[in-house]
Amino acid sequence: MAVSVAREHWSSRFAFLMAAIGSAVGLGNIWRFPFITGENGGGAFILIYVFTTTVIALPILIAEIMLGRMGGQSPIQSMMLIVRKHKKSVLWVVLAWGGTLGAFVILSYYSVIGGWALKYTLLAVTDSFANLDPAASGTLFGNFTADPVSLIGWHTAFMAINVGIVVWGLHKGIERAVVFLMPLLFLLLIGMVVYAVSTPGFDQAVDFLFTVDFSKVTSNTFLVAIGQGFFSVSVALGSMMTYGAYLDEDINIPKSAVIIVIADTSVALLAGLAIFPLVFSFALEPSAGPGLIFVTVPIAFAQMEAGYLVGTMFFILLSVAAVTSAISLLEPAVAYIEEAFVLSRRTTAILVGTACWMVGIATAFSFNDWSSFYPLASSGVLVDKTIFDVLDFVATSWVQPGVGILMAVFVGWALSQETVAEALNVDDPTALWFRFWTFLIRVVCPLAVLFVFAGAVWPELVASLMPSSGG
Ligand code: PHE
């Protein structure tokens, strides 16, 4: 049985916001969002993304931070305390287990991709993109990912940085890192956008990102947008719940959540505005998929005047974003093990980090020696997916929406309105925003997540419900 640990609190609202925005802003914004937007038709996808994130991810984020603050401990221990205090079924604790394990699994492969960011930072600093033509860029990336030793080496470096921060705890580790790294990230990003504005491809990029062509929208666009929103906002994995546990009573959670979502979405859009002008200026392919920033964008760095500087800035930015998210993926499990086994933070962070590192090795091999090993091939589901694909799919398409729906239903239906109003310091429960939020988490969020599940199980049925499914 876990014991309560006296938990430190954030030293200021600013520190909390930097940590939470640091969690939200990550590979999801700078690596995933641009290529997913490229693959899903640009402007129409962005519009749907902004909409679904506002009405689905944001309300759940408020609920999640609130649960964290109510419990004041790791997600698992917090849920145990909450169900005991409010006399709810202990089965609800499954949402915290799901989140904590999901975060652990995501971190195992997030660290491998984070390692790519570190490797590419080194390549940029050593001017290795100079004279890179498209074929050579593909070869560079191909050779790198084909070499498991190299991937594992960079994965090790990334995980070590992450553990190195978490070992120092909330104030000396996480806070000190984020209050320095997040402003740096914003500066780098703005610098890149300012540069991008001066390139010839800027107008075309704005057109691509903000011209809405509804003929490109299918039910799948919604499914992808909802999934991307969950991932990008860091919702339903216990990360934000853990950060909520360290939050003072007087901080306004809904307001903070709105700031986090606005910051996260702005960074994704700014990343698009930084990257696509380069892609268009050099007539490269916007729908290049996961290789967009590792294969396509370096070609632009090779050809542009300030390529060395901009390329270096870009990959430092990417690495910073990845590290500040990884911290929040490690923290839920570390906080729990600390409580459950009464171990020191140092020992716990090293133990959990090492375990996660070991799982990550399977992902490193998924890009080379095991690239045609499909672990579920004989089971009839996910038959053509590598270990990396399976982990990513299960964590982001099943665990995250599943935990999200449980959080929404628990806060919306299981807890009483008075409990929730009190936890959020709402003086007037008849206030319009509070009623609207309650409606969103009670009805809209669960239905939307069910729609995501239905889309995964019966793709044809969901597609046929869409007016423009032929487009
Ligand atoms: N939001 C992070 C990103 O966009 C990933 C993440 C998901 C981090 C869930 C923590 C929890 O990269």
The mean pLDDT of 450-461, rounded to a whole number, is: 79
Average pLDDT over the chain, rounded to an integer: 92
Query: Does the structure show a pLDDT above 50 at 470?
Result: no
* 38: in domain: yes
Residue 268 has pLDDT above 70, yes or no: yes
pLDDT score of 2: 62
pLDDT digits (tens, 9 = 90+) for 38-49: 888 889 999 999
Identify whether 417 is part of a domain. no
Ligand 1 atom closest to the CA of 231, numbered from 1: 7
In a domain, 419, yes or no: no
23 Cα–ligand 1 center, Å: 6
Q: 18-21, long-range: CB within 8 Å, 24+ apart, which pairs?
A: 18/175, 18/178, 18/179, 18/182, 18/183, 19/174, 19/175, 19/178, 19/243, 19/324, 19/327, 19/328, 20/65, 20/234, 20/240, 20/243, 20/256, 20/260, 21/182, 21/259, 21/260, 21/263, 21/264
CATH number of the domain residue 18 falls in:
1.10.4160.10
Tens of pLDDT along 17-63? 999 999 999 999 999 999 889 888 889 999 999 999 999 999 999 99
Place 222 in a pLDDT band, splitting at 50, 70 and 90: confident
Q: Does residue 16 surpass a pLDDT of 60? A: yes
Residues of the chain above pLDDT 90, percent: 77
Residue 1 is predicted with a pLDDT of 55
Q: Which residues contact 349 (CB under 8 A, 6 or more apart)?
A: 163, 166, 167, 330, 334
Structure confidence by residue, pLDDT tens digits, 456-467: 777 777 777 665
pLDDT at 144: 96
Residue 226 domain-assigned?
A: yes
Q: How far, in Å, from the CA of 231 to the mean position of ligand 1?
A: 5
Q: Is there a domain that residue 439 lies in?
A: no
Question: What is the Å distance from ligand 1's center to 328 Cα?
Answer: 8
pLDDT on residue 471: 35
Q: Which atom of ligand 1 is nearest to the CA of 400?
A: 9
Q: For 397-445, how does the pLDDT look when each residue is reduced to its tens digit (9 = 90+)?
A: 889 999 999 999 999 999 999 999 999 999 999 999 999 999 999 999 9
4 band by pLDDT with thresholds 50, 70 and 90? confident
pLDDT at 469: 43
Least confident of 178-182, 283-287, 423-427, 446-450: 283-287
The CA–CA distances, whole Å, from 327 to 23, 90, 97, 342, 362 equal: 7, 28, 18, 21, 21
Residues with CB under 6 A from ligand 1: 23-24, 26-29, 103, 231-232, 234, 237, 239, 325, 328-329
Domain that holds residue 39: 13-371
Report the range of poorest mean pLDDT among 88-102, 278-292, 359-373.
278-292
User: What are all long-range contacts of 443-446, with beta carbons under 8 Å and residues at least 24 apart?
Assistant: 444/55, 444/56, 444/59, 445/55, 445/56, 445/59, 445/60, 445/404, 445/405, 445/408, 445/412, 446/405, 446/408, 446/409, 446/412
In the predicted model, is pLDDT for residue 282 greater than 70? Answer: yes
Q: How far is the CA of 263 from the centre of ligand 1 (A)?
A: 14
Assessment of whether the complete model's pTM goes beyond 0.85: yes
Buried b (16+ CB within 10 A) or exposed e, 334-344: bbbbbbbeeee
- Is residue 385 in some structural domain? no
Q: Which of 126-130, 222-226, 267-271, 446-450 has the lowest mean pLDDT?
A: 222-226
Determine the pLDDT at residue 381: 75
| Protein residue whose Cα sits closest to atom 7 of ligand 1 | 234
Give the number of domains in the chain.
1
Report if residue 380 sits inside a domain.
no
pLDDT at 3: 67
pLDDT in tens, 302-355: 988 889 999 999 999 999 999 999 999 999 999 999 999 999 999 999 999 999
The CA 290 to ligand 1 mean position distance, Å, reads: 17
Ligand 1 centroid vs 233 CA: distance in angstroms? 6
Please report the pLDDT score of residue 382 as a whole number: 78
Per-residue pLDDT reduced to its tens digit, 78-114: 999 999 999 999 999 999 999 999 999 999 999 999 9
Please name the amino acid found at residue 135. A
Q: Does residue 455 lie within any of the structural domains?
A: no
Residue nearest atom 11 in ligand 1 by C-alpha distance? 234
Supply the pLDDT for residue 467: 58
